[in-house]
Amino acid sequence: DKGTRGTVHGADRLKDLVLPLLVDGVESMVGRGWSVDVYLICGFDELKESRRQMIQDALPTGVGLEVWDDAIPYYYVKKFNQQLKTPDQAIEFAPHGLSRQHRFVVRDKLMEYDFFVAFEDDIRVTADHVVNFLEMSTQIDRLRRAAEHSPDGKAHVEDAVEDSRTVRGKSMDKATVGNDLVQDAMNADELRRLWPGFIRAEVLDNRGGQPHQLLEGSTPALDNYKWKQFVLASMEYEQSFGKIDPNVCCDLDSPRTPPNPTKDDLVLWETDISATGVRHYPGEIGWAAAMPVEDKSDVGSYWSGEGNVYNDPSFKRPRRVDALLGQQAGWMATRSQVLYFHEHACPGGFLPHFDGKDWYHDSLQTRNGAVEFWSGGYQLFGRCRLNRILSLDPVRFSRQILYHSSNNKQKTKTKDKFIRLSHFLGQLYTVKERALKSLQGDAAQ
């Protein structure tokens, strides 16, 4: 570690952080009988043989290991018009391009594996996450097929509540739908763009003995979360549907992470309720949160701000607001899903060779996006028009939380950005209650 962004200078990141995460995740997958191989893409010049052997020895027997070191690409810095900045512009490293390099590995190995998991090095991903993703993907695909074969070309919510509304909302931006969709039927194209998402969390770490910025004071920041006065968390869901299970995401045996986390130790910082909606989706998906997506890509949900909730008629649904996008630090997909990304969903493709007008003829120019574009899912949930959802079922919701085990954001971000995951889910249940009430139409006023 370099000592920046809340890390300790000189700390052994590979040994104390990356390796425990990697072994933990791989063991959970091998334990299910899966055949797993690991590919490490490294920015430093060379992974010493002793370090490589340390990794190999820690992995379960039979797990393959390949390392691509010195993987940072080169590029020419260009102006916005794609011209070189200076006539004698020298070639230089593109550190932001390291997060792109996994796509070359995926393309090279595409026909050798059934499933791909590509995440940043401090994200805990286990078999529970993969199984939940596959289950939700299968349910969405089943709905899509049903819609294609239904008389009206749509999938419907079977236990839909009577909708007494006589007036429906209109889009406030480039979306083709309003912000008041609760249980509307969905066509095959909309369902094809529905995607099981993930959200990053950290575990409150107060082991240093010093007051924690999120816990100190007469009114701690976590008890006065953002938008509380407009969308109070409805915590009754814990009695009716269950609580978030912190062990699924964040029970990690590592010297860098706090042991034995509780549900209220899990905190979120990368989005908030103002950028989120809920919807009762057809079939087994049921009620789920709709995460931020570009307006023109939105398939619709009931926005938390519908009905001037935030007491500001000019307040529009946040779309491409970096601080609220909820980057998930990676992606996972089956081989067929990767092919769908590349051949259908993503302009210019998802896999190399990243050329042509969709890439401004140079995919390493930062106008194509930096780290978060490639590894954070911004390409998938922006350019490729996929709509991420988070189940409101606490069991499933727990399996859509990813542990950002560097645990440094709570030290470096302003405290007003943070909310407990349990409170965030409670806010989503409040929006659900409002969505159901809206179906009463004039009677709800």
CA 107 and chain centroid, separation: 22
State how far the Cα of 425 lies from the Cα of 427, in Å rounded to an integer: 5
In this prediction, residue 382 carries a pLDDT of: 87
Please, are residues 258 and 204 in contact by the beta-carbon 8 Å criterion?
Answer: yes
In this prediction, residue 33 carries a pLDDT of: 98
State how far the Cα of 95 lies from the Cα of 74, in Å rounded to an integer: 8
In this prediction, residue 8 carries a pLDDT of: 64
Q: Average pLDDT, whole number, for the chain?
A: 93
Could you tell me the sign of the dihedral formed by the alpha carbons of 248, 381, 426, 279, in that order? negative
Instruction: Express each pLDDT in 201-245 by its tens digit.
Output: 999 998 878 889 999 999 999 999 999 999 999 999 999 999 999
Q: Which residues contact 12 (CB under 8 A, 6 or more apart)?
A: none
Segment 250-266 mean pLDDT: 93
The CA-atom distances, in angstroms, between 245 and each of 254, 393, 398 are 19, 11, 6
Instruction: Express each pLDDT in 150-168 by its tens digit.
Output: 999 999 999 899 999 999 9
Q: Is 344 buried (19+), middle (13-18) or exposed (0-12) by CB count in 10 A?
A: exposed
- What percentage of the chain has pLDDT greater than the value 70? 96
Structure-token pair, residue 325: 């996008």
Within 94-136, strands assigned E span 115-119, 123-124
State how far the Cα of 365 lies from the Cα of 378, in Å rounded to an integer: 15
Helix (H) or strand (E) holding 390: strand 387-391
Segment 300-311 mean pLDDT: 97
- What percentage of the chain has pLDDT greater than the value 90? 81
Segment 121-125 mean pLDDT: 96
In this prediction, residue 376 carries a pLDDT of: 73
pLDDT for residue 6 is more than 70: no
